[in-house]
Chain A
Amino acid sequence: MSLIECRQLTRTYRRGDQEITPLRDLDLDIEAGTFLALMGPSGSGKTTLLNLLAGIDRPTSGSLVVDGREIHHLSRGALAAWRASAVGYIFQLYNLVPVLTAYENVELPLLLHRISRKERHRRVAAALDLVGIADRSDHLPRQLSGGQEQRVAIARAIVTDPTLILADEPTGDLDRESAVSIMDLMARLNRDLGRTIVMVTHDPKTTEWCDSVLHLEKGRLAEAEGEATTPMASESNLESEDVR
Chain B
Amino acid sequence: MSRILSTFPTVWRQIVRAPLRSGLTVAGIAMAIFLFTSVEAMRSGVHEATSASAEDATLIVYRENRFCPFSSKLPQYYGDRIERVEGVSSVVPMQILVSNCRASLDVVTFRGIPADDVERTLSDAAQIVDGDMDTWQKRGDAALVGESMAVRRGVKVGDRFSAAGITVYIAGIVASDRLQDRNVAYVKLPFIQEAMYRGGTGGIVTQFIVTVDDPTSLDTVAASIDAEFARDEHPTSTWPEKAFTGRAARDVLELVNFASWVGWGSLAMVLALIGNAIVLAMRDRIRDHAVLQTLGFTGGLLAWMVLMEGAILGLLGGAVGAIASVALMMVGRFNLTMEGVNIEVAHDPRLAFVGAGIALGLGLLAGVVPALRAARAEISEGLRAV
- The reply to whether B296 and A156 form a contact with Cβ atoms under 8 Å apart is no
CB-based contact A111/B379 at 8 Å:
no
Interface check A85, CB cutoff 8 A: yes
Identity of the chain A residue whose Cβ is nearest the Cβ of B379 in the assembled complex: A56
Interface string of B1-22 (1 = CB under 8 A from A): 0110011001001100110000
Separation of A84 and B292 alpha carbons in the complex (Å):
10
Given the complex of chains A and B, what is the CA–CA distance between A123 and B294 in angstroms? 20
A158 at the interface (CB under 8 A from B): no
Complex alpha-carbon distance, A56 and B299, angstroms: 12
Cβ–Cβ < 8 Å partners of A16 in chain B: none
* B295:A108 contact, CB within 8 angstroms: yes
A95:B296 contact, CB within 8 angstroms: no
Whether the pair B380, A111 counts as a contact (CB closer than 8 A) is: no
A81 at the interface (CB under 8 A from B): yes
Of the candidates B10, B287, B292, B297, which one forms a contact with A104 in the assembled complex, judged by CB atoms under 8 Å apart?
B10
B291-323 contact mask (Cβ, 8 Å, vs A): 1 or 0: 111111111110000000000000000000000
List residues of chain A with CB within 8 A of the CB of B301.
Answer: 112
Residue of A nearest to B18 (CB): A99
Minimum CB–CB distance for A193 against chain B, Å: 20
Query: Are B383 and A56 touching (Cβ within 8 A)?
Result: yes
What count of chain B residues pass the 8 Å CB interface test? 25
Indicate whether A69 reaches chain B with its CB closer than 8 angstroms: no
- Across-interface contacts of B379 in A (CB, < 8 A): 51, 56-57
Assign chain A's interface to a size class.
20 to 34
* Chain B residue at minimum C-beta to C-beta distance from A57: B380
Taking the nearest CB of chain A, how far is it from the CB of B340, in angstroms? 60
Report yes or no: B296 in contact with A83, Cβ–Cβ below 8 A.
Answer: yes
Q: Do the beta carbons of B288 and A97 come within 8 Å of each other? A: yes
Measured between beta carbons, the chain B residues less than 8 angstroms from A156 are 295
State the Cβ distance, A109 to closest chain B Cβ, in Å.
4
**Which 10 A/B pairs are nearest by Cβ-Cβ distance?**
A84-B296, A99-B17, A83-B296, A80-B298, A109-B295, A56-B379, A111-B6, A95-B291, A57-B380, A89-B294
Note all chain B residues with C-beta closer than 8 A to A80. 293, 296-299
A14 within 8 Å of B by Cβ? no
A contact residues around B2 at 8 Å (CB) = 114
Q: Given that A99-B18, A108-B292, A111-B3 are contacting pairs, would A76 and B380 also be in contact in the complex, using a CB cutoff of 8 Å? A: no
Q: Is the CB of B294 within 8 A of A56?
A: yes
Q: How far is the CB of A90 from chain B (nearest CB, A)?
A: 10
Q: Give the interface of A toward B (CB within 8 A).
A: 51, 54, 56-57, 76-77, 80-85, 87, 89, 91, 95, 97-100, 104, 108-109, 111-112, 114, 156
Q: Report how far A99 CA is from B285 CA in the complex, Å.
A: 11
Q: Is the CB of B292 within 8 A of A91?
A: no
Determine how close the nearest CB of chain A comes to the CB of B375; give it in whole angstroms.
10
Cα–Cα, bound, A108→B294 (Å): 11
Roughly how many angstroms separate A15 CA and B187 CA in the complex, as a whole number?
A: 86
Other contacts beyond A80-B296, A99-B17: 7, CB < 8 A: A51-B380, A77-B300, A89-B294, A89-B295, A95-B288, A104-B10, A112-B301
Which residues of chain B come closer than 8 Å to A91, judged between CB atoms?
A: 291, 383
In chain B, what residue has the closest Cβ to A156?
A: B295
Closest to A114 in B: B2
- Which of A77, A80, A156 gathers the greatest number of chain B CB atoms within 10 Å? A80
The answer to whether B288 touches A76 (Cβ under 8 A) is no
Is A97 within 8 A of B297, CB to CB? no
Residues of A within 8 A of B288 (CB): 95, 97-98
Complex-state Cα separation, A82 to B298, whole angstroms: 11
Known: A99-B13, A104-B13. A83 touches B294 (CB 8 A): yes
A56 to B290, CA, bound (A): 9
B266-301 CB contacts (< 8 Å) to partner A: 287-288, 291-301
Q: Which residue of B lies closest to A93 (CB)?
A: B287
Neighbouring B residues of A56 by C-beta, 8 Å: 293-294, 379-380, 383
- Interface pair A77/B294, CB less than 8 Å apart: no
Q: A99-B17, A111-B6, A111-B10 are in contact. Are A84 and B380 (CB under 8 A)?
A: no
A111 contacts which chain B residues (CB < 8 A)? 3, 6-7, 10
- Complex CA–CA separation, A81 to B3 (angstroms): 13
A108 to B296, CA, bound (A): 10
B345-357 interface code vs A (CB 8 A; 1 in, 0 out) = 0000000000000
Pull 26 A–B residue pairs with CB atoms less than 8 Å apart, ordered by A: A57-B380, A76-B299, A77-B298, A80-B296, A80-B298, A81-B296, A81-B298, A82-B296, A83-B295, A83-B296, A89-B294, A95-B287, A95-B291, A95-B383, A97-B292, A99-B13, A99-B17, A99-B18, A100-B10, A100-B13, A111-B3, A111-B6, A112-B3, A112-B295, A112-B296, A112-B301
Q: Kindly list chain A residues whose C-beta atoms are within 8 Å of the C-beta of B18.
A: 99
Task: List which B1-46 residues lie within 8 A (CB) of chain A.
Answer: 2-3, 6-7, 10, 13-14, 17-18
Residues on the A chain within 8 Å of B7, using CB: 111
- B380 near A99 with CB under 8 A, answer no
- Among B291, B294, B295, residue most surrounded by chain A Cβ atoms (within 10 Å): B295
CB 8 Å contact bits of B365-386 with A (1 = contact, 0 = none): 0000000000000011001000
